[in-house]
Structure 1
Amino acid sequence: MGRALNVTTLLVSSLALLVSGWTAWRLHDSQSPQRVLDVRGVVVRDAKGTPRVLLGAPLPDPTRHGQSAGPRASALSGLVLLGPDGSERGGYGTTDIGGEALLTLDDANGSTEVFKVVANRDQGATLMVKHQNNTGAMLTSWQGKPELMFVDDSGQSYYVRPGASAAP
Structure 2
Amino acid sequence: MARALMLTTLGVSTLALLVSGWTAWNLHHSQSPQRVIEARGLVIHDDKGQARVILGAPVPDPLSKGKPRSPRATALSGMILLGPDGSERGAYGTSDRGGEALLTLDDASGTTEVFKVVANPDRGASLMVRHQNNTGAMLTSWQGKPELVFLDDTGQTYYVRPGANAAP
Query: TM-score, length-normalised on structure 2?
Result: 0.96
Deviations 1:114-133 (A, max 9, x none): 00000000000000000000
**Number of aligned residues:** 168
Partner SS state of residue 72, structure 1: coil
Deviations 1:55-77 (A, max 9, x none): 11111111111111121100100
| Long gaps (5+) in structure 2 | none
Partner of 1:37: 37
Partner of 1:123: 123
Q: Which amino acid aligns with 1:80?
A: I
| Long gaps (5+) in structure 1 | none
Q: Which amino acid aligns with 2:39?
A: V
User: Cα offset for 1:2?
Assistant: 3.0
Q: Which amino acid aligns with 2:158?
A: Y
Partner of 2:94: 94
Partner of 2:159: 159
Partner SS state of residue 129, structure 1: strand
> Pairwise CA RMSD of aligned residues?
1.1
Whole-angstrom CA distance in 2 between matches of 1:32 and 1:67: 37
Q: Which amino acid aligns with 1:113?
A: E
Deviations 1:47-106 (A, max 9, x none): 111111111111111111111112110010011101111111101000010110000000
Where in structure 2 are the equivalents of 1:2-151 lying within 5 Å?
A: 2-151=2-151
Whole-angstrom CA distance in 1 between matches of 2:128 and 2:46: 30
Whole-angstrom CA distance in 1 between matches of 2:13 and 2:50: 46
User: Cα offset for 1:3?
Assistant: 3.0
Partner SS state of residue 54, structure 2: strand
Whole-angstrom CA distance in 2 between matches of 1:89 and 1:3: 72
Q: Percent of counterpart pairs with the same letter?
A: 75
Whole-angstrom CA distance in 2 between matches of 1:25 and 1:36: 16
Partner SS state of residue 24, structure 2: helix
Whole-angstrom CA distance in 2 between matches of 1:150 and 1:99: 27
Whole-angstrom CA distance in 1 between matches of 2:62 and 2:7: 62
